[in-house]
Amino acid sequence: MHLAYPAVLSALLFCTGLYGVLARRNAILVLMSVELMLNAVNLNLVAFDVWLSRAAEETLHSGQALTLFTIAIAAAEIGIGLAIVLAVHRNRGTSDIDKLRDTAEGHEPDGPDTDTPATGTAAEKAEVTA
């Protein structure tokens, strides 16, 4: 088997994942696209490892070992990412990335219709918001 076939498939998977990260607004779909990109990298690592092992006398299979580490990191990343998305969805009611622009608790709304005065010290602002 030629090296070009898995390399082209890996490039297509990576481009599909990159498009998903850039175009999607749902946080879960963005995480799935990141996983697709990591799997494309894993495919590339294994393909180059097999190709290099045919050329070398000693085979270390370092590409396959690195792939195992990448799979473990991807599993941890998706677990933590889903936990964060679920926590944000419970607090905010949405997982839309555009609506989650600012996650600070004391976020003041933008625009002229705010109830807080435009001038004053930080203590006065804290007193007004309390």
pTM recorded for the entire structure:
0.69
pLDDT: which is higher, 130 or 9: 9
Residues 15-24 have pLDDT tens digits of: 999 999 999 8
CA 127 to chain centre: 39
Query: pLDDT band at 5, cuts 50/70/90?
Result: very high
48-56 contacts, C-beta under 8 A, 24 or more apart? 48/3, 51/3
Instruction: Please give the structure tokens belonging to residue 12.
Output: 């297509």
Q: What distances in angstroms separate CA 55 from CA 4, 10, 51, 65, one per listed residue?
A: 16, 22, 7, 18
Cβ(29)–Cβ(20) under 8 Å? yes
Residue 59 has pLDDT above 90, yes or no: no
- The mean pLDDT value for 75-101 works out to 87
Query: pLDDT band at 51, cuts 50/70/90?
Result: confident
- The mean pLDDT value for 91-99 works out to 82
Instruction: Please give the structure tokens belonging to residue 107.
Output: 């976020």
Residue 105: per-residue pLDDT:
53
Residue 83 has pLDDT above 90, yes or no: yes
Query: pLDDT band at 76, cuts 50/70/90?
Result: very high
